[in-house]
Chains A and B, each alone.
Chain A
Amino acid sequence: MKKKYCENIALSALSDAQLLQLSKTNVLALSLKEMKTVQHYFKLLKREPTDIELETIAQTWSEHCKHKTLTSPIEYQEISGAKKTSHTFNNLLKETIFEACLKLKKKWCLSVFADNAGIIEFDENYGAAFKVETHNHPSSLEPYGGAATGIGGVIRDILGVGLGAKPLADTDVFCFADPKTPAKKVPQGLHSPRRIIKGVVGGVRDYGNRMGIPTVDGAVCFDECFLANPLVYCGTMGLIPKNKISKKVSAAEFIVVVGGRTGRDGIHGATFSSVKLDKDSDVSAVQIGNPIMEKKVLDALLIARDLNLYTALTDCGAGGLSSAVGELASETGARVELEKAPLKYPGLLPWEIWISEAQERMVLAVKKKNLKRLLKIFKDKDVEASVLGNFTSDKKLTLLYNKEIIGQIQMQFLHEGLPKVSRKAVYHIAKEIKQKPIKMSAQKISAMLIKVLADLNVCSKEWIIRQYDFEVQGQTIVKPLESNSIEVSGNSDAAVIFPYTLIADTKKAIVLSNGINVSYGKINTYKMGAAVIEQALRNAVCVGANIDKISLLDNFCWGNCDNPEVLGSLAACAKACFDFSCKFGTPFISGKDSLNNEYSVGGKKFSITPTLLVSAMGIIENINNVVTLPFKKEGNKIFVLGLTRNEMGGSIFNSINKISDGILCEVFADESKPLMQKIYAAMQLHLIESCHDASEGGLGVCISQMCFCGQLGARIDIDNIKVYEKMTPAEILFSESNGRFVIEVKPENVEKIYKIFRPCIFSEVGAVGGKDLIIESAKNKMKIKQNINVLMKAWQKTLWDI
């Protein structure tokens, strides 16, 4: 029968080559095996699919929505010298990251890997939800819009978790190429890094600030590999009443879409994010954001939530209505009348309405008796709400336009019909060689410290941070920039949000932190995974989080995983996630992957270094126990906790000095976890005045930062720092060993500190005072002296203005 509102796609007669061509031309991003599965399904139905049916399947089966690479079988082989080991994963995600969470059985995990975000317990009445998303492809093509809708999308994830959480804070982590990259080095069809940075920062700024959600934590990494594929991670944390965490759709409930209108923006976003970009990639796949609309949706939605006016909701993200309705109706079925969707402008084809990723829309399931009241609440807040159809009990997705059936697919095929493909993965563990001993004079070390502080990956990100309103909502206690006086600043380890406006009389707070390191990923992704997990945990612990109640999120950004070597490096990293999540007792509660970060032009391929972002969310029991990094008072004692090893591999020092040898830092959880527990114990007794961890740049950078943001100098005896092996002063100062913290202690509390920290490895190394950082070694007859404001200026000036 000839249809008026859709086209039949003649699939049954197509050859393999033609199927693949169709997948490419229509941006379906489906493999041959998947296309053949679809072909077979419709052959059994004895008809051809319509355009909207094929699009629905492509959106639902996209890498973005189904994470098919990480959930399909992987034959993994690890090669270390002559030694080979193999292992088959049936579902990499389930058997590593998710498995760790199951194994740890933390009763404070309230919802894991099931909803739009992970949720842990905050107090007896509330849960804390956290999610971090990536928006890499859109930000590469249209930096401002891509980043804005990235943050807008993750805020909706939090709004759409359970029956809706109230967003309290945003996080952002970016990976860029050097803003000074000359134009001639930028591949054809791409924006210059400087333009990308300005656009991305502007996008996050304008969306986050207008939403009234403070952007409180983040990181910026620089590496040449991000020239063609910048990475943009956006996160949101929110609080949700515990009795609003579960949702359930029932047949006959109305499907109500609220928020922005549907337009032609963001067509094929879900599938486009799974293909490699080239100079002809279509910018219209990027959505257009409107934060004021989203703010209105937020305001109205939380009122309706508290009046119990809907039974389920989710956000329209990748795949638009097709994913949102498809997901909500997966157990029931749905009947959708697409002509009822309000449009930005006429002329959209039904399939375009169905998959458009126009922003600021949420889909709700509403019982008949509540519909009138619900519609009124949205009307009062100037938000459009429209009934699009209803949920059914036939387990079918039925799509109509002006009463004509234009698509009908079994829910089971849609959600479980995706064929599994076994992939091969190989990981070669690179051999690491210790570098030649680094011998430098005091003068050279002093100059090197300045260089390391000024390095793009260490320097102040104040230019970016201050463009975000990190104070809105009034709950940001530990801020991204901390100091003893408002004229100076140092980079905080983590952010602390104290939700007193939502929960009057609470003492509890939420800690957000992150760990990421690009240069470690170039050497060994297993060690990188371990290091960034520990880095996120250290950061959270520094401000006062209890290590026994920290949850993690993973975000894998990888290159082309059709390449077994690339997939192998991912599997190795996932193994590290399992191992160290278990060792630290910190479960992963949600995550996201962005694969295929590859760009090709003129036969040349640009791929990214494997980059894992680990974000941590912890709980602080008493807000009065938070600790920040600036040194507080002259005369206080300085301790270094943890052991320094000769681990210069992947360090900032090595990259500045172009040294390729060096051992990449390893994580020794049996050393660092007890340290973290003791730090928390000492903080409860107010025995620690300031705390900062040593990470990029090493101990020298760590102590410098504590000095200048406290506007106090320090005298450090380098001979007293505990080392694992014989090391030169430069190696001690610039090695990036994990598991190390610097703390400041009042003289009267020194004895108590010794008592608490024994038998861990730690030592007293000096005292706070003066206006210089003085580092001495009697053994090496060496004295390094540098004014703290000289150190601060070096740290600040690199990215003072872009």
Chain B
Amino acid sequence: MKKAKALILTTAGINCDFETQAALNICGARSERVHLHELISKKNKLQNYDILVFPGGFSYGDDIASGKILAYQIKDKLKDEILKFAQSKKLIIGICNGFQALVKMGLLPDEKTFKQSVTLYYNDSGKFECRWVYLKTNPQNNCIWTKNLPEIICLPIAHGEGKFITKDEKILKNLKKNNQVVFKYCDAKGDFGKYPICPNGSQENIAAISNSGGNIFGLMPHPERFIFALQSVTKKGFDDQFGWGKIIFENAVNYIG
């Protein structure tokens, strides 16, 4: 079996790169932390990898808006490479700040248009929040990253700008029609509700989306923070020892292998 090679993109302000690397490696990938400069200067090539990870953090301090500067840098300097990567059906994941960058560069929800049509805006609570949330998965969704997950999982979130909003009703309708909504914030029973069940005021409680091809995945929660049971606030996971994040990264690794 081929060992999946993952590139974990770092730049000023990215700060979840180490644990994301650890999570991918635990799940069977060979992952490297690569600085954006190395890609721009062509010292390293995106095409050498199978999986591209935009990890969490505060890229460039989230100045202007979260993920905005990183999004522009990619669009300006790496447009062809990233489109080639995305369209060759390789895997891309954006976690938290990475999700913010993916939607702001327009790789999500539709890499073909490569234009921003949704955003992640300031939480309704007006403040950064760190908490564990329940997420309802979508069995109709074809996202490669989220296969084999049960109906309800839990993961931690930590963000100040996580309110998912689409540009207009049509975009939202399309997202639903194409089954691109991957996770929705819910309660323990799977019912939807207001704060704190939905921690940020997202439209229709949306926490994660994928592209229509299912290879590009963006989510506000942090799967890399729940690989083993002890990492959870309740100290419980599945099979007595694992966390839901493990399934997400294993899906990617197995898809490549």
Contact = CB atoms under 8 A, between A and B. Distances in A.
Interface of A: 205, 209-212, 290-292, 295-296, 299, 380-382, 465-477, 479, 481-487, 498, 500-502, 504, 623-624, 626, 628
B158 interface: yes
B213 interface: no
A127 to B, nearest CB: 19
A292 B19 contact: no
5 contacts: A210-B13, A292-B12, A296-B12, A469-B130, A471-B156
Contacts of A469: 128, 130, 158
A292 B132 contact: no
A466 B132 CA distance: 10
Interface stretch (B141-149, B173-181, B230-238): B230-238
Contact of A501 (B18, B128, B187): B18
Nearest to B129: A466
A670 B79 CA distance: 69
A473 B18 contact: yes
Contact of A481 (B23, B35, B222, B233): B233
A353 B15 CA distance: 31
A292 B129 contact: no
Given A466-B130, A470-B130, A628-B235, A486 B12 contact: no
A623 B229 CA distance: 12
A211 B130 contact: no
B236 to A, nearest CB: 9
B108 to A, nearest CB: 23
B233 A498 contact: no
A505 to B, nearest CB: 11
Nearest to B235: A628
Given A498-B230, A501-B18, A623-B230, A471 B188 contact: no
Interface in B9-64: 10, 12-13, 15-16, 18-19, 21-23, 35, 37, 56-58, 60-61
Contacts of B227: 474
Given A295-B12, A382-B12, A209 B35 contact: no
Given A382-B12, A474-B19, A474-B227, A484 B129 contact: no
Interface in B114-130: 127-130
Contacts of B22: 474, 500-501, 504
B233 A474 contact: no
Contacts of B21: 501
Nearest to B63: A292
A254 B154 CA distance: 52
A476 B233 CA distance: 9
B164 interface: no
A486 B58 contact: no
Contact of B15 (A212, A482, A486): A212
Residue picked from A291, A474, A486, most chain B C-beta under 10 Å: A474
Given A467-B129, A486-B131, 7 more contacts: A209-B58, A212-B15, A469-B158, A474-B19, A482-B233, A486-B134, A500-B22
Contacts of B225: 471-472, 474
B234 A486 contact: yes
Contacts of B58: 209-210, 291-292
B35 A477 contact: no
Nearest to A381: B35
A472 B13 contact: no
B224 interface: yes
Contacts of A211: 15
B241 to A, nearest CB: 10
B93 interface: no
Contacts of B35: 380-381
B101 to A, nearest CB: 15
A25 B154 CA distance: 60
Given A212-B57, A468-B130, A483-B234, A473 B188 contact: no
B133 interface: yes
Given A380-B37, A628-B235, A472 B61 contact: no
Interface secondary structure of B, over-half rule? mixed
A290 B12 CA distance: 12
A292 B61 contact: yes
Contacts of B222: 471, 474
Contact of B233 (A483, A500, A624): A483
A601 to B, nearest CB: 33
A303 B17 CA distance: 15
B12 A472 contact: no
Contacts of B156: 471
B80 to A, nearest CB: 24
Contacts of B235: 628
A474 B224 contact: yes
B184 to A, nearest CB: 16
Contacts of B15: 210-212, 295, 472
Contacts of A483: 233-234
A292 B61 CA distance: 6
A607 B183 CA distance: 53
B13 A295 contact: yes
A468 B159 CA distance: 9
Contacts of B60: 292
Given A292-B13, A487-B188, A473 B19 contact: yes
Nearest to A205: B128
Nearest to A473: B19
A133 to B, nearest CB: 22
Interface in B186-205: 187-188
B210 to A, nearest CB: 23
Contacts of B10: 299
B73 to A, nearest CB: 12
Query: What are the 4 closest A-B residue pairs judged by CB atoms, nearest first?
Result: A212-B15, A474-B19, A486-B132, A501-B22
Nearest to A382: B12
Contacts of B131: 466, 486
A82 B18 CA distance: 63
B178 to A, nearest CB: 30
A204 to B, nearest CB: 11
A381 B36 CA distance: 10
Residue picked from B15, B23, B129, most chain A C-beta under 10 Å: B15
B145 to A, nearest CB: 18
Nearest to A213: B15
Contacts of B18: 473, 501-502
A393 B129 CA distance: 53
Interface in B207-257: 222, 224-225, 227, 230-231, 233-235
Nearest to A383: B12
A628 B233 CA distance: 10
Contacts of A470: 130
Given A209-B58, A210-B13, A486 B158 contact: no
Contacts of B128: 205, 209, 467, 469
B19 A467 contact: no
Nearest to B134: A486
A447 B105 CA distance: 56
B129 to A, nearest CB: 5
Contacts of B16: 212, 472-474
A328 B231 CA distance: 41
Nearest to A379: B37
A623 to B, nearest CB: 6
Contacts of A476: 231
B68 to A, nearest CB: 14
A485 B159 CA distance: 21
Contacts of B188: 485, 487
B23 A474 contact: yes
Contact of A471 (B13, B127, B154, B158): B158
Contacts of A468: 130
B133 A471 contact: no
Nearest to B243: A474
A751 to B, nearest CB: 26
Contacts of B129: 466-467
A486 B19 CA distance: 22
Contacts of A299: 10
Given A292-B61, A470-B130, A484 B234 contact: yes
